[in-house]
Structure 1
Amino acid sequence: MISIPAVPAAAQERSVPAAAIRQKTDIPCPHPAVAKPAGIPPRPVPPPDDPVNSAVGGPALATHGLVVPAGAKQPPAVTATTWMVADLDTGEVLGGCGPHVYQTPASVQKTLLAATVMDKLDPKQTMTVVRGDLDIEVNSSAVGLVVGGKYQISTLWLGLLLNSGNDAANALARLAGGGGADGVAKTVAAMNAEARSLGAYQTHALTPSGLDGKGQFTSAYDLALIARKDFANADFRRYVLTKAAQMPAQPQLKQKGFQFQNENKLIFNYPGAMGGKTGFTTVARHSYVGAASRNGRRLVVTLLGAEAHPLRGWQQGAALLDWGFALPKGASVGKLVTPADVAQQNATTNARIESTTAAKSAVPSARASSSGGLPMMPVALGVAVVLAGTPLLLLLSQRRRKRPARKVR
């Protein structure tokens, strides 16, 4: 949820006309005609749409359907339930399908762990694995850490990002949280704070790894904000482009070393690939974050709730990247907000709240001095400011376009 003080629903409704937030009819997203596998567990019930948070980055993004620039070619049909393509450098959102719709993240949540703590841990530091680091769901993804084993932090990051090791996620989270029994919980709290600071208001983490948990959600838009911070980090870029890495032997534990591979096939098959992260759980289905560079442009694609047939997650990402690169520069339907946008909005809203509180506190003295029963103008003005000042800076932060965005059929 949004971190700034809540604005009454009535204020939200007055300041954000319903027509500007959500069209009556969403444009269906193109999907291939394939049957979903049987026996998929039900998805967690998401929170209700928030009319302000759903429009962060621009009102055109507040849709459960398709939104692309005017005149754009129809995007490829993919099984992903929601997706988005954006420019890592300019922040332009090139298009998407339900970009702010709540989804279950699976292992792409590890990108939020990286965005939160990668700069806080020395990659050359050696750590020792404890039993709690291996407290992960049975048969879930693990890179093969052993209790008592000694590993460099850089090896843990490789195990996390290449092999999606949930054991590595626990170890990194514990260390970043101080190394104690409450280290993971502290880091998860930091991840949620990081999401809010980025403007990723649909994101709420319960685990550092993305293993399913009740109330754990993200969105395609949020993942793009998180990826933008990750790809600004040179260590992250180096890790996710690594094709294979070596897990060191642990002779004191009679454990041999072994090699593990990068599961993101984009880096092996897509010209200009910059790397990314795959994800899967039986509840979330397939999720994917990937980025590539072409002709001076760096695009990121995020997708959630996909099936692996007829195309795997990375292949769906590649098809959407091709579509994005084919769009002319400047084509846009919205904007990725920045941490500076978020900080400015928080400061502005807090100032308005303080102003309104001060105005209300003046009511008793104003009444005592008034004999004519006239309206209390300071209070009325203060309330008007709040109603007019609903947090829309993030919504309106996109710059003017040469061509208006539209939802195409």
Structure 2
Amino acid sequence: MIIRSATRTALTGTAALATGLLVLLPAASPATAGPRSLPAHIRTDPLPPAPAPAYVDSSGLYDSGTQARPAPGTPAPPDDISALSWLVADADSGDVLAAHDAHRKLPPASTLKTLFAVTAMPHLPAQSRHTVTQADLSGIGEGSSMVGVEAGLSYQVADLWRGVFLSSGSDAVHVLASMNGGWDSTVTQMQRRARQLGALDTHVVSCDGYDTPGQVSSAFDLAVFGRTGLANPQFASYAATSDAQFPGERGASFGIQNTNRLLSGAHGVQTYPGMIGVKNGYTTHAGNTLIAAARHGNRTMLVTVMNPQSGALDAVYDEARHLLDWGFDADGHATPVGSLAPAPPPQAAGADRGRPGHAASAAAEPVRHRAEAGTASAGLPAGVLVPAVLVGAALLAGAGVMLVRRAGRRRTPAS
């Protein structure tokens, strides 16, 4: 009785083990479960590997002077640009087509508001409202540009952003920074964001770009901020707005106009075809600064111009115009001299070291492939696992019976 009971217990336990293993197995695939049609949207053919991201060595942009590699027979960049620093890039690819002293550290003036927007905009829902307090407006620098924000009035965040992009309103920046955790916290966030984007020339002291000792950026960094912002439809919409209504007292509103004259055509400056923003600036210390972008067909060109020295009226706009013209002509006919995209991280050790884009491709592997990988073990497809488990369970049952019988023989008294 003891032997039979032990044998029955062993067989029952082994069967339970086999049943448990079967339960833990993934559901049979359509191939093992018999014919079944798949939904039309599910792919059954292998997906091609993700292409390796193109990267252009940007180290030459740290050299002084003009950097450009136009194709033979195509014009060189315009030689009448008086700005201390400038850059021309394809905004879509990030390829820098030409630049002059691209990493020279200079005061950015209100073009630094692009970094403020890139940093704070994701944290502030456009339709939310805020009643402005006097504390929100404290600390605005003397002579700062203002849109006309009033303490005690309630504003939508979208209105405040229009005040930033169109009127370069430092009062709107102060209110938004207060909503974003405070002035000092936002400065810290902006500095961190600049580093994340590979903008290493920028040192942030004031959110609005007001002249402050130690505050600098570069033509390269400003182009990075402009390109990053244009990838956000909300940012791009504000940057491309020529004029709008801004809320005032007693429910009234008043008109505001974009101070980027290539967009608005103000003060007799001819608008640039396809202009989509981005931001201009001026202080006595920084001179005129500008980030400008235009779209022709499926191409978007981005230029930055910092502190023209010619003394000509509207020089910053005229020089940006010439650089945009050259960029559209040279795009596709010039070898890039750098890239606005951050340098790729070092490759992990292993067989794939030295393969550009391997880490990114692995991270972007389709979920479908990872799910399929989970249905195999030690190189066995799912269809082989079921019989393998059953055979293993049978072997376990047999082994259990043999062990019980041997134990029974040892326990039986000698006759």
TM-score range, shorter chain: 0.5 to 0.7
Q: What is the alpha-carbon distance in structure 1 between the residues aligned to residue 153 and residue 218 of structure 2?
A: 36
Q: Give per-residue Cα distances to partners, 1:178-204, cap 9 Å, x unaligned.
A: xxxxx1110110000000000000011
Q: Tell me: CA distance 1:148–1:57, structure 2 relative to 1, closer, same or farther (3 Å).
A: farther
Task: Name whichever structure is richer in helix by fraction.
Answer: 2
Q: Tell me: CA distance 1:129–1:76, structure 2 relative to 1, closer, same or farther (3 Å).
A: farther
Q: What is the alpha-carbon distance in structure 2 between the residues aligned to residue 132 and residue 79 of structure 1?
A: 42
Asked whether 1:84 is paired with 2:80, we answer no
Q: What is the alpha-carbon distance in structure 2 between the residues aligned to residue 200 and residue 185 of structure 1?
A: 20
Match of 1:166 among 170, 181, 186: 170
Q: What is the alpha-carbon distance in structure 2 between the residues aligned to residue 156 and residue 57 of structure 1?
A: 39
Q: TM-score, normalised by structure 1?
A: 0.66
SS at match of 2:276: strand
Asked whether 1:237 is paired with 2:236, we answer yes
- Please tell me the residue identity of whatever aligns with 1:265: R
Instruction: Tell me which residue corresponds to 1:107.
Output: 110
Percentage identity across aligned positions?
A: 37
> Is the CA contact 1:81–1:306 (under 8 Å) kept in the aligned structure 2?
yes
Instruction: Tell me which residue corresponds to 1:299.
Output: 301
> Is the CA contact 2:59–2:338 (under 8 Å) kept in the aligned structure 1?
no
Q: What is the alpha-carbon distance in structure 2 between the residues aligned to residue 285 and residue 273 of structure 1?
A: 22
Asked whether 1:96 is paired with 2:99, we answer yes
Listed as ranges, the matches of 1:176-325 within 5 Å are: 176-177=180-181, 183-251=182-250, 256-268=252-264, 269-306=271-308, 309-325=312-328
**Larger-gyration structure (1/2):** 2
Instruction: Tell me which residue corresponds to 1:329.
Output: 332
SS at match of 2:104: coil
Asked whether 1:66 is paired with 2:66, we answer yes
Q: Give per-residue Cα distances to partners, 1:336-383, cap 9 Å, x unaligned.
A: 2435x46x25x97xx9xxxxxxxxxxxxxxxxxxxxxxxxxxxxxxxx
> Is the CA contact 2:102–2:220 (under 8 Å) kept in the aligned structure 1?
yes
> Is the CA contact 1:76–1:319 (under 8 Å) kept in the aligned structure 2?
no
> Is the CA contact 1:79–1:306 (under 8 Å) kept in the aligned structure 2?
yes
- Please tell me the residue identity of whatever aligns with 2:327: G
- Please tell me the residue identity of whatever aligns with 1:192: Q
- Please tell me the residue identity of whatever aligns with 2:63: T
SS at match of 1:108: helix
SS at match of 2:314: coil
Deviation at 1:163, TM superposition (A): 0.5
**Runs of 5+ consecutive residues of structure 1 not aligned to the other structure:** 1-55, 178-182, 352-392, 394-409
Q: Give per-residue Cα distances to partners, 1:204-229, cap 9 Å, x unaligned.
A: 11111000111111010111111111
- Please tell me the residue identity of whatever aligns with 1:282: T
Q: Tell me: CA distance 1:241–1:85, structure 2 relative to 1, closer, same or farther (3 Å).
A: same
Deviation at 1:98, TM superposition (A): 0.3
Q: What is the alpha-carbon distance in structure 2 between the residues aligned to residue 328 and residue 336 of structure 1?
A: 14
- Please tell me the residue identity of whatever aligns with 1:306: P
Using the TM superposition, name which of 327-336 and 200-209 deviates more: 327-336
Deviation at 1:328, TM superposition (A): 4.0
Listed as ranges, the matches of 1:382-393 within 5 Å are: none
Q: TM-score, normalised by structure 2?
A: 0.65
Q: What is the alpha-carbon distance in structure 2 between the residues aligned to residue 67 and residue 194 of structure 1?
A: 27
**Runs of 5+ consecutive residues of structure 2 not aligned to the other structure:** 1-55, 265-270, 350-355, 357-415
Q: What is the alpha-carbon distance in structure 1 between the residues aligned to residue 331 and residue 240 of structure 2?
A: 27
> Is the CA contact 1:133–1:168 (under 8 Å) kept in the aligned structure 2?
no
Deviation at 1:313, TM superposition (A): 1.9
> How many residues matched?
284
